[in-house]
Structure 1
Amino acid sequence: MTYIRPTFRHPNLPKNKINYTKKDYEGALSTLCAGCGHDSISGAIIQACFELAIEPHRLAKLSGIGCSSKTPAYFLGNSHGFNSVHGRMPSVATGAYLANRDLVYFGVSGDGDSASIGMGQFVHAIRRNLNMTYIVMNNGCYGLTKGQDSATADAGSISKAGSTNLFNAIDLVGLGLELGATFIARSFSGDKTQLIPLIKAAMSHPGFALIDVISPCVTFNNNTGSTKSYDYVREHIEATSTIDFVPTMEEITTSYEEGDSKEVALHDGSVLNLQKLNQGWNPEDKLSAMIALQNAKTKGEILTGLIYIEPKTQSLHEVLGTCETPLNELKEDLLCPGQDALEALNQSLR
């Protein structure tokens, strides 16, 4: 058995504006269980990067430990990659981002990786508004260690073994709102129509962009009684809106009645079209987002789509006032300007 993807592709595959095909964004063949929601997310990432026409060598993908953290091997095989220690991916991402601001940073984590051992790291990445897309592949269980409940398993949820979870779940979306994340969304691995534009918008956002993706574990958490199963999620989804991502070079048109749609302009000129909005919900109002989340929770629904966005925000480099040149490209004459420069600096502080 081989895990190397065949190299042959149809010679007439469509190409994006930089002359790449989807093949250029693929990775190795997946070794995850057949039907795993994580593979659908990997497919959505490939499609989003293809449509955004990102050069693969300009993207850095980082992960921790878990089924989710294996997936960077399955997409963008020509990108930079680092698989870190369990729960420590945000630290590695922070160091890499500070050293080289010119790369596009893409973090992949799981509910165990972010909501348990990596909670402290997750919290500080949000607090610092690290300019990265952070996807949590959330299945409510530890798939690598035989399906024990994770910290995102809902109270009362029944595992495949028949045990009932006694503890309240950690809601990463609600936590992200409370901590000040500037882009927050939730989606479902079985809904690529919603997930792909959300990933494209997150990658265009100048700050920490969190996407919590419910991704059922077909082996350990897809049973009756599980709130992370395919059937349960499909029966309880409540979408905030229909989402369309419009790149800056395309004409922006809206065909919906006034009050049924909203355009959110991103910093690079791209636009998120939010169509058929839920009544009383404004994605640029944090209180409105919190109320929408709480209402959905009270009704037992899973609120998906763009939950909250703060279009005008400062990334970590802007907060720290670092130079425009990536730190890993600074030459010795700038890093060590000499005694005269040091003396001038000391004089300015006296």
Structure 2
Amino acid sequence: MTYIKPKFRHPDLPKNAVGYSKSDYEGVISTLCAGCGHDSISGSIVQACYEMSIEPHRVAKLSGIGCSSKTPNYFLNNSHGFNSVHGRMPSVATGANMANRDLIYLGVSGDGDTASIGMGQFVHAIRRNLNMLYIVMNNGCYGLTKGQDSATADAGSVSKSGSVNPFEGIDLVGMALELGATFVARSFSGDKTQLVPLIKAALSHKGFALIDVLSPCVTFNNNAGSTKSYDYVRDHIEALAEIGYVPEKEEITISYDSGSSVDVELHDGSSVQLHKLADGWDPRDRQAAMRRLQQAKAEGEILTGLVYVDPESKDLHEIIKSDTRPLNSLNEEDLCPGSGVLALLNDEFR
């Protein structure tokens, strides 16, 4: 059996604005379990990048260890990629971003890779407002090691083996809001209509963008009693809004009745259109988002959609006023400006 897709494609496949067909954004054939939600997320990433006309060589995709971290092999085959050690993807993303701000950084992780061994890395990427999209493929279990509960498994959730989880689960969306993330969303792997525009908006956002995607594990966590099974998620989802993404070049022609919609303009001129389904909710109000999240948890609901966004976000480069040029373009004169400059620098700290 081969895992390499044939290179032949129909010559009349539709092309996007930069001349690529959708197949140019794909990767090799997935080796994940049939029906795995992670493959649906990969498909959404492919669709979003194709529709945004992103040139694949402008993307750097990064991951850690786990089923989720295998997925960069299944999308954007012509992009830069780095598969780091377990839980350390945010550090690699930070170093790469500091070296070259011109690339688009897409990090893919899992609930174990993020909420357990990688927690310390995750929180610092948020607080620094690193300019990247961080997708968590969240299934509440360790799929590579036979389905033990992960740190995001809900208290009372029943595993495939029949054991009940006695510990409170870590809510990555709530944690991201507390830590000051400037774009926070949650979605479901089976809801491509919602997930694709969320990915497009997150890629356009300047700063740290988290999308926590509930992605049921069909092998180890899709049983009755699991709060991250397909049936449970479908039965308990509550969407905050119907989501649309409008590129900068496209004229906004859609409107809703007064008080029922929000149009959030992002830094690059693109915008997110939200037809609100939840009363009294504004995605630009962090405190309101946190209250709504707590309310949903108390009522046993799974809140999805764009939870919070800061349209005025400043990323790490702006915060520390770093050089705008990639590090590999700096010459000796830039890196070693002489003893006079060093003396002036030392004087500032005296």
Does residue 94 of structure 2 align to residue 90 of structure 1? no
Aligned counterparts of 1:173 and 1:195: Cα–Cα separation in 2? 15
- Structure 1 gap segments, 5+ residues each: none
- 1:302 corresponds in structure 2 to 302
CA offsets 1:133-164 (integer angstroms, 9 cap, x no match): 00000000000000000010111111111111
Percentage of identical aligned residues: 73
- 1:34 corresponds in structure 2 to 34
Does residue 108 of structure 2 align to residue 108 of structure 1? yes
Letter in 2 for 1:67: C
Aligned counterparts of 1:294 and 1:326: Cα–Cα separation in 2? 42
- 2:2 corresponds in structure 1 to 2
Aligned length: 350
Structure 1, 319-328 or 89-98: larger mean CA deviation:
319-328
- 1:47 corresponds in structure 2 to 47
- 2:206 corresponds in structure 1 to 206
- 1:249 corresponds in structure 2 to 249
Cα 1:337–1:159 change in 2 (3 A) is same
- Structure 2 gap segments, 5+ residues each: none
Cα 1:346–1:137 change in 2 (3 A) is closer
SS of 1:222 mapped into structure 2: coil
CA offsets 1:13-42 (integer angstroms, 9 cap, x no match): 111111111111111110000000000000
- 2:332 corresponds in structure 1 to 332
Deviation of 1:340 after TM superposition, in Å, equals 4.4
Deviation of 1:131 after TM superposition, in Å, equals 0.3
Aligned counterparts of 1:298 and 1:346: Cα–Cα separation in 2? 55
Aligned counterparts of 2:97 and 2:348: Cα–Cα separation in 1? 30
Deviation of 1:190 after TM superposition, in Å, equals 0.1
Aligned counterparts of 2:74 and 2:151: Cα–Cα separation in 1? 26
SS of 1:307 mapped into structure 2: strand
RMSD: 1.2
Cα 1:103–1:164 change in 2 (3 A) is same
Aligned counterparts of 2:81 and 2:144: Cα–Cα separation in 1? 21
SS of 1:109 mapped into structure 2: strand
1:103-182 map, 5 Å:
103-182=103-182
Aligned counterparts of 2:283 and 2:319: Cα–Cα separation in 1? 24
CA offsets 1:91-115 (integer angstroms, 9 cap, x no match): 0000010011111000000000000
Letter in 1 for 2:26: E
1:238-277 map, 5 Å:
238-277=238-277
Cα 1:219–1:346 change in 2 (3 A) is closer
SS of 1:198 mapped into structure 2: helix
- 1:233 corresponds in structure 2 to 233
Aligned counterparts of 1:287 and 1:61: Cα–Cα separation in 2? 32
SS of 2:57 mapped into structure 1: helix
| TM-score normalized with structure 2 length | 0.98
- 2:279 corresponds in structure 1 to 279
Aligned counterparts of 1:127 and 1:349: Cα–Cα separation in 2? 26
Aligned counterparts of 1:93 and 1:325: Cα–Cα separation in 2? 17
Cα 1:346–1:116 change in 2 (3 A) is closer
Cα 1:300–1:250 change in 2 (3 A) is same
Letter in 1 for 2:188: F
CA offsets 1:196-248 (integer angstroms, 9 cap, x no match): 00000000000000000000000000011110000110010000000000001
Aligned counterparts of 1:285 and 1:348: Cα–Cα separation in 2? 39
Does residue 289 of structure 2 align to residue 289 of structure 1? yes
Aligned counterparts of 2:145 and 2:277: Cα–Cα separation in 1? 40
Structure 1, 339-348 or 160-169: larger mean CA deviation:
339-348
- 2:190 corresponds in structure 1 to 190
Aligned counterparts of 1:65 and 1:117: Cα–Cα separation in 2? 10
Task: List structure 1 segments (4+ residues) > 2 angstroms apart after TM superposition.
Answer: 337-350
SS of 1:96 mapped into structure 2: helix
Letter in 2 for 1:325: R
- 2:19 corresponds in structure 1 to 19
Structure 1, 189-198 or 22-31: larger mean CA deviation:
22-31
Deviation of 1:347 after TM superposition, in Å, equals 6.1
Aligned counterparts of 2:273 and 2:347: Cα–Cα separation in 1? 54
Deviation of 1:324 after TM superposition, in Å, equals 1.3
| TM-score normalized with structure 1 length | 0.98
Letter in 1 for 2:310: E
Aligned counterparts of 2:261 and 2:270: Cα–Cα separation in 1? 16
Deviation of 1:322 after TM superposition, in Å, equals 0.8
Aligned counterparts of 2:345 and 2:158: Cα–Cα separation in 1? 63
